[in-house]
Structure 1
Amino acid sequence: MRIAYARVSTDKQELYRQLDALERVGYDKLIQEKFTGTQKKRTGLDSLFNTVRLGDTVIIESISRLGRKTLDILSTVEELKEQGVEVISLKENLDTSTPTGQAMFQMMAVIAQLERDLTVQRVNEGLASAKARGVKLGRPTMDKQKVTDALRLYDSGQYSVKDIIRITGISQGSLYRKLKKRENNNNVRLSK
């Protein structure tokens, strides 16, 4: 079965251009949606995955209709390929059932990996640069006295968590983490 998929990002946009292109090549079923491509979880895309079967072909006007992020597009095409479904993109003239189309897809995957690696490299360089300038990285350390006071107030049973947070200035998450850590330490001591 040939399944056409068309998507635009907002309700204000129209699908006419995509639908015209898909009509020219023909299809058996059409799935369309108006939803941002930045989200991988989309009703129309879910419907596409629920519809396709081994041997089907998905036809799109442009590869960008599958998503905005290169990695999302590649993973979507790869998931379809794993299900035995070929993908044809009209604009890029990409057909994963042909050797050339498969090679193009693999080149896109290499470029996406390079993009990922360069991003990681830039982040690590930025962190190293900040560290070299004396910038403290990570969570700021909590004032030990505030933590001690918060635990003492909690143990008294006279204050709510909300009151303890207001009085001591530590966050609710920090209080619960410290309580959990103390509980785990006590359990370790009891088991020895």
Structure 2
Amino acid sequence: MTKTIPSTRPQLRVAAYCRIANGEDQASILEAQKAHYTERISANPDWIMAGIFADTGDCRSKRPEFQKMLRKCRQGKIDLILVKTISRFARNASDCLKTVQELRELGVAVVFEKEAVNTSDPDSGLYISIMGAIARAESESISHGPCGICTCRFHHVITSSPRKGTWKKTIRFPGRPEKTIIVRME
């Protein structure tokens, strides 16, 4: 007979955030996301469900569930947040970085599944900035049709910095080869 030794590690209080646009066809997507996160969190013995927060609406909505989730983080009731993608978490790269920084100071990590980014990694800020700019540009491109906005907007975001010269950053993610990003400001 084998004895089960209880884990001495405290369980992480894990929440998930989902956001979709308004529309009848989107309701089933939202339910599928909620079910996915409920199953994923419940399947991990080191995690405790801290809530599934889901908003619907466009980029101008107040996102009440997002605000509720942030309040729970400030109250110390959440340790980790799972999100499908950066573009679902924040409206732009600046908002994303500001929120991630606040959460990091509270001891809360955010995992962006599509981009495989965990904000507990100190190098995550640069990657979030770049991916946030790309996601915003893609969103604007989709909203305005195929008119080349994506390339122009991303180029503007990168080149609008007042610094000139070459900037190089190597990003390492667990289980992936390292990536080097080179940005030349002229």
Relative distance call for 1:49 and 1:58 in structure 2 (3 A) is same
List gaps (5 residues or longer) in structure 2: 1-12, 42-48, 134-154, 163-186
Q: Which of 61, 80, 85 is the aligned partner of 1:57?
A: 80
Deviations 1:33-74 (A, max 9, x none): 1122x2484211111111112761111122211123222222
TM-score, with length taken from structure 1:
0.50
Q: Is the 8 A contact 1:9 1:35 kept in 2?
A: yes
Q: Which amino acid aligns with 2:92?
A: K
Q: Following TM superposition, by how much is the alpha carbon of 1:108 offset from its aligned partner in structure 2, in angstroms?
A: 2.9
Q: Which amino acid aligns with 1:67?
A: A
Q: With CA pairs under 8 Å and 6+ residues apart, which has the higher RCO, 1 or 2?
A: 2
Bigger helix share: 1
Counterpart in 1 of 2:40?
25
Counterpart in 1 of 2:93?
70
Flag the structure with larger Rg: 1
Counterpart in 2 of 1:45?
66
Identity between Structure 1 and Structure 2 (%)? 24
Q: Which of 31, 51, 63 is the aligned partner of 1:16?
A: 31
TM-score, with length taken from structure 2:
0.51
Relative distance call for 1:61 and 1:21 in structure 2 (3 A) is farther
Counterpart in 1 of 2:180?
none
Counterpart in 1 of 2:127?
107
Relative distance call for 1:62 and 1:117 in structure 2 (3 A) is closer
